[in-house]
Each structure stands twice: as C-alpha cells, then as structure tokens.
Structure 1
C-alpha cells in the first residue's frame, strides 16, 4: 500500500498527518494502531509522537482521530488539532471550521501569526471535567484540587481534570523541575497501578510571571514530549483556579518546543479553553507500506521551509525561559 502523508508539529509535538478526505484511504482499527507503531518509530525514516487521521464526518467539516506512537488512541490532542485545522481550512478555503473529535465537535480558526510567517491556528479545548471518574482516578473523593496523593509524593500537591484526556497537574518550583521525580511518578501512574487504571498525562507547571507559565509534560502513550496541547490547556485552567492567572486573559504558555497562548473561559461553572499556536509543516512524503511484515520504505520526501521561521519563535521562547527558570 502506498500512502502520502505530511509531517508537521505544534510546539515541537510532531505528527504524521494522513488525509483520508482526498486520498480515499480506508483502514481497519488494527491497521490504524499498527501504522502508528510502525511509522512513528523514532528509529525509522519517519518517526513522530503520533498519527493524525483526517477523516470524513457526518456531523462536522471533518473528523480527527489520534493514535499515539504506541498504537493507543487518544481522545483529544490540542497540538494535533491545530494541524488538522490547517489541513481542513486550506483544503476547503476556510478561515474557521468545526472538527469532530472523540468526545466533542470543536471550533477551529485561522489566527494572526504568533510571529511573522508562522502559521497559527486557534482550537477549542472542551469539555473540561473535574470528576475523578472522568479520568478515571481511583480515590475515595469526587474531585482533587491542590491536594497530596500519598502514594505519589509527600511534598507535591496535585489537581486532576480531564479535557477530555486525563491530566494530573502540579505546580512546582524550579528545583523540582531539575530532579527526576516527574519521570518516576509518571512512569508509576502509567504502568500497572491502582490509582490510574488507564494511565494519565502528568504535567509539572512553573509560574514565570503574571500571564506566563512553563509546562513540562510526560504524555500517556508517548513519554516526555516537547509540548502537549491539552496539558497546556489544563495547566492554564489550574493556574487560574490557583489565582496565578485570570480567566478571559491571554496566558503565554512556554514549553520545551516553544510557546502557545491559552485563554480560559468559565460560564456557570463550566470551562473551556482557547489554545492558540503554530501549525508548522516539516515535509511531505510518500511511503510504501507492508503491514503484514510490519515494514515500510520511503519513496520520496520533500522538505518545507517553514521550520526555519518557526526556529525564531523557538529561540525567543528559549531565551525567555533561560532568564526565568
């Protein structure tokens, strides 16, 4: 089977994009998972954090499905949704659209560039759920906000929420970023454990200044990534609930892959987030795949020039973090 794809990234969180709208591809559920494990392998000619399948939808302009590098399916991906937003808006000549995801139909729109010539899109992140059963998290309480979990840490305080991916958020100091505790507890809650039977994304959040936070995430099914869109969105909500930032105001969210912006909305106790960031194409490629043998070969690869411009944003973010962390 020959497949055409695009590799792109949102804040360094990279994906292979397979467009089923125009190419007429059809995959079984097992084939989608196998494609992710095969093509996303970092030791291969491609490599990525996951695959974005852009599909037809009966309820929206298009449908997005996200498969992580380990073959598991994610219910939502904010960085990936920006890339899908770009694919759909450019394909149909739109500036905004509705994209169907696993749990919700979400609004996406083209925005002014974060910096010149960096393609920028805004995507809606919702629903936001605080009930522990939504993650799920097995504790004898309905919600968890800024509280200790004895099994994980005697010092750190955690907040749990689903957006709709499950997230465990803790606000930390710089020295807590520099030790190995995040990896240790992330691997614990994403292996066999009694707390999180389905695993969870774990984010350490460092306040920088009013209106700015740094987020580092261990992503379920992937490991440490340059950025996780839903984690940055969830972290922004937690920063507002903690009084570090305010609803309806732009929050600059820094990550190891650059910078995005989040705006937290609250109405009658219900939350949503606008996630604004880059949707950068790296290259387009043609591959020949043999799923029976779990092999593929690269037929052609054509680089885009967009990454050179994105590096300016990445450098700007890195210099700011050097001063603040």
Structure 2
C-alpha cells in the first residue's frame, strides 16, 4: 500500500494526524517499518505532516470504537484530552459514531458528546493525587488524569522557562521510569493560565487537555475553586473543566477544528 488517507484536526492548538484504521490500512502502509519510527516521520514538523500526536481509530467490541494514541516521538500514551476531543469529532464526521459516543483507550472507556465544533469528553476518574511534593527545588502537586501530571503554580507563567524546567522535572528520579507531564499554572479571578511540557513531545505544546484538567483540579483543591474552571492555554484558546466535589466525574469541553484531509505517500517512510 503506497498511499494512506488521513485527516488533520486540532483542539486549542494541540494538533493530530487521525487515520481510520478499522481495516488495518496503517499496518499495510507501514509494512517493513517499525510503527514507532513511522509515527515519528509522519509527525515531524519539518519533513512530515507535523503533529503533536497520531491517532488510529479502530474497531471495538465494547464501544463505538477503540483508539490507539501515539505521541510525536512514537511512544504510546494512555490518554490525551484534546486528542480525545478531536477523535470524537473525527468519528462523528466520518459516521463511525453518533453525537454521543464511547470509545476505548488505555486509560479506560471515554465518553464524548459532539455539538458542531464543540466537543465535551468525560474522562476516567483521576487518581494518585499527592499534594505539596518538592521536585527540583519547586513545590508542586501530582495527579493522574489519564496520564501523569505534575502541577506547579507561578505568579507569572509567561516568565517561566517551561522547556528547561519542564524537562528537569519530567526526568526527575521521583517519576522514573515513565516520567511525567509538567504544568505551570497561574490563577486569576476568572480563569487559570496553563503552560505544559509534554512527555513524548519533549517540549512545550500550545495546549494539553489532560494537563488543563490536572491544573484545574489541583487549583480547585489548593485555591477552593468551584466547577467549572476556565483554562486559558498557551495558544490563547480556552477550555472548560467540570467536576464534582470528589472528582468522581470530570469533563473537558472546548472547540475543535477539522483542518484538512490528505494522503501520505509511502516514500515518506522509505527515505
């Protein structure tokens, strides 16, 4: 197979290559090339499509579909909030799932509702909350919102060297072997501002859905914020995080953009 149809979607600046892989066309396209290497080449911003991650939509026996999510470095991630919103939009547009849907992830079953460009997803129950942890000289808070996140509050997030500090914390001994995502949050009267260093991308991204959720939940704990919390991402776009008192039910809502559709040629992988 020398061509692979794909779509490009983004949510608050987090962008993804999405492939309808219900007939295993991705495996046929990548034949002879390790899956991780193929994903890296496709997601490369200079020589490929360019994306924060790649999503394969596959068949499921217990939900509307199953996804497989890859970071841009080819590693597998359990969950991605904005990726989940984009996957739901894609599935609705392609007739794979109705407006209200469920899909399988490594973090559990995710529920989603698509209303035009807006998508609201119900995430798996957060776990492993640990407050007031000292890492790299900074005090922060840990929570797993599908993937692990360490949240540090700052007076001015625009002054934080996210790439340098984020990399140090992400690779700290405390979080080995898998590492953690790192969020820097600033609490304002009407919203919180969040900047995120994402493992697997190994850089700051314009937005992170699970990071926005982690920051909102930790802010609710530390600063007694009530639901919903508005999160302003690095892209300037905003997400809303809904939750109950015990974090039993947590939702992430925001806009998505269906950017374009195209075809990848096999020579991308053969070069």
* TM-score (norm. length: structure 1): 0.75
Which of 149, 154, 169 lines up with 1:167 in the alignment?
A: 149
CA drift of 1:292 comes to 6.2
* Cross-structure match for 1:121: 119
CA drift of 1:82 comes to 0.7
Higher RCO, 1 vs 2 (CA within 8 Å, ≥6 residues apart): 2
Larger Rg: 1
* Cross-structure match for 1:196: 175
Residues 88-125 of structure 1, C-alpha deviations (whole Å, 9 max, x = no match) = 223146210001111211110023x6xxxxx1100112
Q: Distance in 2 between matches of 1:194 and 1:202?
A: 14
Q: Distance in 2 between matches of 1:173 and 1:292?
A: 45
Does residue 260 in structure 1 map to residue 260 in structure 2?
Answer: no
How do 1:21-36 and structure 2 match up within 5 A? 21=22, 24-27=24-27, 31-36=34-39
CA drift of 1:271 comes to 3.0
Answer whether contact 1:109 1:122 (CA < 8 A) is retained.
yes
Answer whether contact 2:9 2:17 (CA < 8 A) is retained.
yes
Answer whether contact 1:52 1:84 (CA < 8 A) is retained.
yes
* Cross-structure match for 2:210: 230
Q: Measured at CA, do residues 93 and 218 of structure 1 come closer, stay the same or move farther in structure 2, by a change above 3 Å?
A: closer
Matched residues, number: 263
CA drift of 1:270 comes to 4.7
Which of 28, 39, 42 lines up with 1:39 in the alignment?
A: 42
Give the aligned CA root-mean-square deviation in angstroms: 2.1
Q: Measured at CA, do residues 92 and 64 of structure 1 come closer, stay the same or move farther in structure 2, by a change above 3 Å?
A: closer
SS at match of 1:86: helix
